[in-house]
Each structure stands twice: as C-alpha cells, then as structure tokens.
Chains A and B, each alone.
Chain A
Amino acid sequence: MNTFFQLSAIFAAGCCVTAMMFALIRLFIGPSAQDRVLAVDSFYINGVLVLLILGVRSGSTFYFDLALLMALFGFIGTTALGKFLLRGEVIEP
C-alpha cells in the first residue's frame, strides 16, 4: 500500500508539472497582457502544488515553508502586475 501512495504522489507531481507546461505555453502565446499575468498566476500555483506533493512524498516539513514563501511572493507579483495593468502604475501617490 505504500507503493500505491508513492506512485500516486509521482502521478500527481507529473500532472502538476504538465499543468505548469500548459501555463507556460499560454504565457508565451497569450494574445494580451492579462492572459500572460493569468498564466503566471496559474504557473506559481502549480509550483506550490508540486512543492507540497514533494513534501508529502518525502515526509519532511521543509517544503512547506518554501511553498508558503512561493505563494506569498506569487500573490504579491500577480497583484502588482494586475494593478499596473489597471492603473498604469503600481504604487499610487
């Protein structure tokens, strides 16, 4: 049964990496700027998922801190880019 758990973790990590590849393709072919920002958003969310799956598989808790930092900086980046697309500047005077 432990083999089933390891195989399911590998399968889920492969699914998330494929999802990251799809988001990367959308990032390159995205017709408008907001498409690219949305692709970056999906890309880092899937990266967080890959880190969590690796943490589950190896049984260590160090991956969790990395995933939290990645989610934090990804949110900051997405919000800053969206604000820039919305108003033309990030920090308004």
Chain B
Amino acid sequence: MTEFTLPVWIALPAGLLLICGGLLALIGSCGLLRMRSFYARMHPVTMGTTLGMGCILVSSILVTSVLLRRPAIHELVITIFIVITSPVSAITLMRAAITRTGKDGEKRTD
C-alpha cells in the first residue's frame, strides 16, 4: 500500500503515539457504553477527544514533517479547532440535559 520508508527514530514514537491514541479512543467509547447516567457518560468521551486526538495528531505531524522534509504544522489547525469546539458542544449538551431532566437526573420530562 505504501512506498515510503520512515527512519527508526521517527517510526517508533509515531507508532507508539498511534497505539496510545487508538487505545484512548477505545477506552473513552467503552466508558460511553458502560456508564450508568448521562452525567457520568459525559466524562469518558472527552478523554478520546482530547488525549486521543492529540496523540494521533502529534504522530501525524511527525510523519508528515519527515515525508515533506519541512515542518508540517497544518495538522495544528484541526487540533485547535477540536480544542475550541469540544467544550462548546459539551456545555450545550449539559445545559440541555439539566433543562430536560433536572440536576439530580431523576425526574425525566421526555
């Protein structure tokens, strides 16, 4: 599939960062599936969106910089975008949940 060959000192940390990012995303979605209430389910998803995304983007920056033979920082755009927009959607969802169910999560209006 691929024709490029990476040097060892860039393939090892890039591979380890990819494994860490994939495992973090998997653990975050497993928490999304296993947690009991909605307020508990808000928490593990953020691990995948911040740390997992960060690990994979650092790996992408390393590999692309080696392949292009110059510092490739255009992946930082998507990092900054996710870092800005993830709390906004989390705040909107949390306010919607509080409005719909109440702070204790017991009484449900839907």
- Chain A residues with CB under 8 Å of chain B are 1-2, 4-9, 11-16, 18-20, 22-23, 25-26, 32-35, 37-39, 41-42, 45-46, 48-49, 52-53, 55-59, 61, 64, 67-68, 71-72, 75, 78-79, 82-83, 85-86
Contacts and interface: CB of A to CB of B under 8 A. Distances in A.
The SS class assigned to the A binding surface is helix
Range of interface residues on chain B? 35 or more
B56 A35 contact: no
Contacts, number: 181
B23 A38 contact: no
A62 to B, nearest CB: 12
Interface string B55-90: 011011001100100000011011001100100110
B63 A56 contact: yes
Given A42-B48, A85-B96, A22 B29 contact: yes
Contact of A2 (B5, B53, B67, B110): B5
Interface in B30-57: 30, 32-33, 38, 41-42, 45, 48-49, 52-53, 56-57
Given A39-B32, A59-B2, A64-B74, A12 B96 contact: no
A25 B11 CA distance: 34
A11 B38 CA distance: 30
